[in-house]
Structure formats: structure tokens, C-alpha cells
Amino acid sequence: MPLDDRREDLLIAVALTEFSVHYEQVDSELSEHAWQLAASRLVDHDAGPTEAVDALEIG
């Protein structure tokens, strides 16, 4: 099933958030950048992390 733009952006935001959390101790600058990118995608769709997971039906 192809993803629509919103679902694709939300999935990317969730992946970036996971990356940010797992690499925080390894490279805090890269982790912060990933978090900012994730937050930007969520803001674009007026969604928070919980709403993203709910919208993607992955939680």
C-alpha cells in the first residue's frame, strides 16, 4: 500500500525521533539535528509524537 504524504512524513518523524534517542550518547549534535527534523515534520502536520504513532497505527 503506497503511503500518502502525511503518513510518509509522520513515519519519517517517528524514525528520526527513534534515531535521536538511540544516538544521543554517541553524537549529541547529530541527535539534536535529527530531533529538530522530526519536530519540524510533526509541526507541519500539527501532530505530536503520540498522534503520529496513532495515525500510523503502529503503537
- Cα angle 23, 4, 1; round to 5: 95
Task: Output the CA torsion 4→19→38→49 (10° steps).
Answer: 80
- Crossing angle of helices 5-22/49-56, nearest 10°? 120
Q: Residue 3's pLDDT band (boundaries 50, 70, 90)?
A: low
Residue with cell 535529527: 34
Confidence of residue 2 (pLDDT cuts 50, 70, 90): low
Model pTM score = 0.78
pLDDT tens digit sequence for 24-34: 999 999 999 99
- CA dist 9 and 58 (Å) reads 14
Dump pLDDT digits (tens) for 4-53.
888 899 899 989 999 999 999 999 999 999 999 999 988 988 887 778 77
